[in-house]
């Protein structure tokens, strides 16, 4: 199973604007050594990341994206139950999001979440849509994918991708990421929506807290803001340390740690065969690599 030669961890952001402080990329090489930040010299934009993945990705790279690659489906039998259009799988969802948001710059998704056909399903600003819950209730934490229930069982604290409110929300990051996945469609597989081939590069969804947990961090203190903490976590993964000391932003530390974590665990067969990952779940909701 150990066939990848490079491991790219991407901490993503759904914030507005042309460049995002919350985006960080790091690569770990299969032959060892410390993970290394990729610095474009001007800060990353989502379009920059798209261009790198489309045009400059080294062969046999496992890419970990810190975002949700789909919306909940299994709980209601649809992404948007009762909506006009029935979307059968994740790629069709990505296509609709990108089509609605075509004029929006920087892979933004405001047009989609404010579209009258879709707005009722989201919690947006002070408004909780009437279809935010599966049964039409407008309360609670919202809908979750099967993989997010698996995350919760592991002690994590997932948020619904329909929730677009709060500092910890991941909805906007996930939706902007889905636009990027649509633009990358056909270049390389997105596991488990697509089967993992025997060779070539592939994309997986990651949750940085899972990597931090396996590196000895408490879920409540998964973020690392010092080089000392980061290097202690890297050591738990059997990785060489990153040079330097003092503070580090948590986006960079997340990218560095997840690159090393992907290198450490990607060869473990059980990571690719979680018990709850059925064929239907794979096609519609995807999965978080490492969730069991």
In which domain, by residue range, is 264 found? 6-69+184-272
The reply to whether 285 falls in a domain is no
Q: How much is the mean pLDDT over the chain?
A: 93
d(CA 207, CA 20): 19
- Give the H/E segment covering residue 63: strand 61-66
The 3-state secondary structure of 164-230 reads CCCCCCCHHHHHHHHHHHHHHCCCCCECCCCCCCCCCCEEEECCHHHHHHHCCCCHHHCCCCEHHHH
Provide the pairing of β-strand 61-66 with 6-11. Answer: parallel
The reply to whether 199 falls in a domain is yes
The reply to whether 145 falls in a domain is no
Structural domain count, the chain: 1
Kindly report, residue by residue over 169-211, the tens digit of the pLDDT.
889 999 999 999 999 999 999 999 999 999 999 999 999 999 9
The reply to whether 265 falls in a domain is yes
The reply to whether 241 falls in a domain is yes
CATH code (residue 14) = 3.30.420
The reply to whether 100 falls in a domain is no
The reply to whether 235 falls in a domain is yes
Kindly report, residue by residue over 106-123, the tens digit of the pLDDT.
999 999 999 999 999 999
pTM for the complete prediction? Answer: 0.95
């Amino acid at each position: 199973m150990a066939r990848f030669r490079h491991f790219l961890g991407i901490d993503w952001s759904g914030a507005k604007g042309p460049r995002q402080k919350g985006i960080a990329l790091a690569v770990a090489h299969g032959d060892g050594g410390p993970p290394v930040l990729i610095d474009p010299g001007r800060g990353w934009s989502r379009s920059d990341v798209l261009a790198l993945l489309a045009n400059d990705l080294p062969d046999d790279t496992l890419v970990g994206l810190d975002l949700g690659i789909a919306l909940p489906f299994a709980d209601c039998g649809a992404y948007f139950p009762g909506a006009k259009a029935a979307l059968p799988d994740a790629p069709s969802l990505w296509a609709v999001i990108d089509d609605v948001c075509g004029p929006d710059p920087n892979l933004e998704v405001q047009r989609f979440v404010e579209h009258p056909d879709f707005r009722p399903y989201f919690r947006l600003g002070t408004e909780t849509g009437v279809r935010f819950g599966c049964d039409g209730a407008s309360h609670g934490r919202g809908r979750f994918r099967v993989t997010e229930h698996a995350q919760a069982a592991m002690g994590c604290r997932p948020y619904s991708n329909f929730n677009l409110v709060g500092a910890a929300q991941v909805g906007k990051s996930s939706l902007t990421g889905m636009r990027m996945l649509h633009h990358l469609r056909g270049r390389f597989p997105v596991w488990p929506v697509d089967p993992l081939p025997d060779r070539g590069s592939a994309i997986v969804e990651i949750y940085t807290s899972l990597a931090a947990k396996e590196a000895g961090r408490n879920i409540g203190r998964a973020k690392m803001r010092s080089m000392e903490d980061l290097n202690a976590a890297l050591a738990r993964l059997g990785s060489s340390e990153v040079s330097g000391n003092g503070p580090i932003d948590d986006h960079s530390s997340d990218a560095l740690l997840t690159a090393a974590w992907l290198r450490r665990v990607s060869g473990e067969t059980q990571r690719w065969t979680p018990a709850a990952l059925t064929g239907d779940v794979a096609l519609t909701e995807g999965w978080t690599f490492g969730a069991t």
